[in-house]
């Protein structure tokens, strides 16, 4: 009675399990048994899917079986058949080609013969894809070409390579270059498709201008300008008082020279009193002038050092000015100011 692929896998799993049990420490044997059981369960499910024509579901299960039991020639043969029935002729051909030497080494001559015959029959039907990379593209530093996410090494450029029918994504990338991408459709047995990688344009990096540094403004001191005005006003008053006292001192000195004192500065008691008053008024005038000048200077410094008030928009000057006038009169001082 012929042996089905399912029975072949069961026999292989059993042989593999007992063989490993004989040479593996006891603590590792449960894991090996679990692996064999998992592989057999997946194989059974894949066989059911294949019987129902669900090859898209069956092939991934068989791929996992061959990963769990790499020595399983029967599972690999069934996977190749699944690829073939799913229309993935290039994958089926590659799998049959791989099985032939494995089956030969395992002493499974019939399977080796079957795999070789299948590979030979499929080869003329395989679609071929050639990816041409021109010299100007090859010269780009760091160039990487991929097909369906897998790298196409330089030795594969310009060579017709087996490929399954369907849609395939090609991409070429390089540092500092825009990626080249193209989707290619391969259909029909023995199809021959050639795609040329286009030059990769230099990547344009938008320059981001650094934001201007923040405007650092002096802290607002609302008291500063009123204080400046007060100081300048007091300074002007001091200057006015100094000027008035100076005028009075001159007047007292002139009065002493008009009679009480002669040209030789010989004075009567009234003259001496007038001269003494003139000296006192002169000293007071000097002090008032110096104090007023200092207040004026200090007020001006406070005014011009005060931070300007922030404005939301530029406005025309209002034309308002601060003015102060001092007039020295024979009988006193007159001050006039405006804001």
Determine contact, residues 261/275, Cβ cutoff 8 Å: yes
Q: What are phi and psi of 114, to 5 degrees?
A: -60, -45
State how far the Cα of 76 lies from the Cα of 62, in Å rounded to an integer: 8
What separation in angstroms does the CA of 182 have from each of 170, 191, 216? 5, 18, 54
Nearest CA-CA partner of 48 in 33, 35, 61: 61
Q: Which residues contact 339 (CB under 8 A, 6 or more apart)?
A: 320, 322
Is 17 a residue whose pLDDT tops 50? no
- pLDDT score recorded for residue 4: 45
Q: Is the pTM of this model over 0.85?
A: no
Tokens of 133: 């990379």
- pLDDT score recorded for residue 324: 53
Is 303 a residue whose pLDDT tops 70? yes
- Over residues 193-243, the pLDDT tens digits come to 999 999 999 988 777 777 888 877 666 677 777 887 887 888 788 888 988
- pLDDT score recorded for residue 329: 54
Is 19 a residue whose pLDDT tops 80? no
State how far the Cα of 299 lies from the Cα of 226, in Å rounded to an integer: 9
Which of residues 157 and 4 earns the better pLDDT score? Answer: 157
What separation in angstroms does the CA of 99 have from each of 46, 64, 181, 215, 221? 19, 16, 35, 76, 91
Q: 167 has which bridge partners?
A: 185
Is 13 a residue whose pLDDT tops 50? no
Q: What does the DSSP assignment read for 47-69?
A: HHHHHTT-HHHHHHHHHHHHHH-
Is 269 a residue whose pLDDT tops 50? yes
Determine contact, residues 274/256, Cβ cutoff 8 Å: yes
What separation in angstroms does the CA of 262 have from each of 75, 258, 275? 145, 8, 12
Q: Which helix (H) or strand (E) holds 129?
A: strand 127-132
Four-residue CA torsion sign, 89, 92, 96, 97: positive
């Amino acid at each position: 009675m012929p042996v089905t692929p399912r029975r072949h896998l069961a026999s292989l799993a059993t042989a593999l399990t007992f063989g490993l049990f004989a040479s593996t420490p006891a603590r590792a044997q449960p894991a090996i048994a679990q692996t064999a059981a998992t592989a057999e369960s997946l194989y059974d499910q894949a066989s059911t899917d294949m019987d129902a024509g669900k090859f898209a579901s069956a092939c991934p299960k068989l791929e996992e079986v061959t990963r769990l039991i790499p020595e399983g020639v029967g599972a690999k043969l069934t996977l190749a058949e699944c690829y073939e029935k799913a229309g993935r002729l290039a994958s089926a051909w590659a799998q049959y080609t791989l099985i032939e030497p494995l089956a030969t080494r395992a002493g499974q001559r019939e399977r080796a013969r079957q795999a070789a015959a299948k590979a030979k029959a499929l080869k003329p039907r395989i679609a071929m894809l050639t990816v041409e990379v021109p010299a100007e593209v090859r010269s780009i530093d760091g160039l990487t070409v991929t097909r369906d996410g897998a790298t196409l090494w330089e030795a594969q450029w310009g060579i017709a390579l087996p490929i399954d029918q369907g849609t395939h994504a090609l991409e070429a990338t390089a540092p500092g270059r825009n990626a080249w991408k193209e989707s290619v459709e391969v259909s029909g047995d023995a199809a021959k498709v050639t795609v040329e990688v286009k030059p990769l344009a230099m990547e344009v990096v938008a320059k981001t201008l650094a934001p201007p540094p923040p405007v650092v403004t002096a802290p607002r001191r609302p008291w500063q300008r009123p204080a400046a005005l007060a100081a300048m006003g007091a300074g002007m008053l001091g200057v006015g008082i100094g000027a008035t006292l100076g005028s009075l001192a001159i007047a007292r000195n002139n009065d002493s020279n008009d009679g009480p004192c002669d040209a030789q500065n010989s004075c009567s008691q009234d003259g001496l009193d007038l001269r003494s008053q003139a000296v006192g008024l002169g000293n007071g005038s000097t002090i008032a002038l110096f104090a007023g000048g200092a207040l004026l200077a200090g007020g001006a410094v406070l005014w011009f050092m005060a931070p300007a008030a922030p404005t939301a928009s530029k406005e025309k000057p209002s034309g308002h000015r601060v003015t102060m006038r001092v007039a020295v009169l024979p009988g006193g001082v007159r001050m006039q100011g405006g804001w």
